[in-house]
Amino acid sequence: MIEGRNIICIASDWSYDPTSKHHVMKRLAERNHIVWVNYHGSRRPQFSATDFAAAVGKLRRIIQGPSRAAPNITVVTPLVVPVPGREAVARLNRRLLTRQIRRVLRELPPRPVQLWSFAPDVDFLCGQFDEECVVYYCVDEFSEFAGYDRRAILAAERRLASRADLLVTTSRALFESKRALNANTILVPHGVDCAHFGGSRSDDVLIPEEIAMLPRPILGFWGLLQDWVDVELLAELATARPDWSIVLIGEAATDVSALKGLANVHLLGRRSYAALPGFAKGFDLGLIPFRINRLTAAVNPIKLREYLSAGLPVVSTPLPEVQRYGELVRVAERGSAFLQACQEALREGRESDSAARQAAMLSETWAARVEEVTLHLRRCPAGKSPAAYLD
């Protein structure tokens, strides 16, 4: 395991619901200090209430300055200009980001520095901190996100990948599309906190009151409700089976009006990560109703492993990374096939193969994933990422 380092992590907002970035960095924080940078320069803001509220929140955190999110995690929200694709803006952001990150590093005990980026467009930071290695941790096909400048993102990603000592991808599709950018490209799928979600089986975990009295069965989903979630599919499912309860946990960042008039659909909004095992205990089935497109073809949904760790049956649209789990999941196209898959899973019951689903996840912990990345870093060729810092 990496230890005794100051690790700069370029990522999305720390306050968001836990993602792979949070899980990986929390494990690394056990033996290192993490400087988590709330980077928000990849997407040009839109004239919308959501982006305005987000901008106000970021401005507030910029003014407040760096804060300690945990004993070994410092979070900084830097002042940057969110206008991707402009060379002059990139130069300005390099100066702004570098200055603000260096200021945080000066407050920490002097240690070797590593740069880990979960964003594709910060190639201009490479070499600015006398870092001993650069890791590009690619978790999505960023060029396919709505609102991103596809050409600018791809160009910046190529530059970052070429300068990285290691390029980590989290799905087979990402591995195939990125390995031409860097000879040291590896596939390390997402992990899961087995103990956290396995706790849903404990008598000490209670089903939240807001779903405890809902008509059964309860089909559940948690995660961001964004444009990759097939809202129409969920509406069709709810309409076809008004006797089922469909519970959706997460911020609605897309149009969900098709669901709001349905009495058996329950949009609960965001809930804490700590509360999810209780909801899992109340669910009869976990849903992954994603649209199939170029973005989701590269997705490796963390919720899949979370559902399985809780022992839940899973029904998903045909995402390539879900299909790799074979008999542990049910995969179906939208429409009647998806409805039928849900019916079959419910007919078998939650307890059928529950132990097998949980057991399959025991080797897929976040700790194991971080150790795997560490081992690959150790093997980087001489002249790239020196093995000495990992000893």
Contact between 362 and 194 under an 8 Å Cβ cutoff? The reply is: yes
Residue 388 confidence (pLDDT): 45
| pLDDT higher than 90, residue 320 | yes
Residue 90 confidence (pLDDT): 72
- Whole-prediction pTM value? 0.90
User: What is the per-residue pLDDT across 259-281, written as a single tens digit (0 to 9) for each?
Assistant: 999 999 999 999 999 999 999 99
Contact between 315 and 201 under an 8 Å Cβ cutoff? The reply is: no
| pLDDT higher than 50, residue 51 | no
Concatenated DSSP letters of 130-159: --SEEEEEE-S-GGGSTTS-HHHHHHHHHH
| pLDDT higher than 50, residue 387 | no
Contact between 329 and 305 under an 8 Å Cβ cutoff? The reply is: no
Domains by residue range for the chain, with CATH: 6-191+365-385 (3.40.50.2000), 194-361 (3.40.50.2000)
Q: Which pLDDT band, with edges at 50, 70 and 90, does 91 fall under? A: confident
Residues paired with residue 73 on neighbouring β-strands, in sequence order = 34, 70
Residue 386 confidence (pLDDT): 47
**Percent share of the chain, pLDDT over 70:** 89
**Percent share of the chain, pLDDT over 90:** 77
Query: What's the whole-number mean pLDDT along residues 219-240?
Result: 97
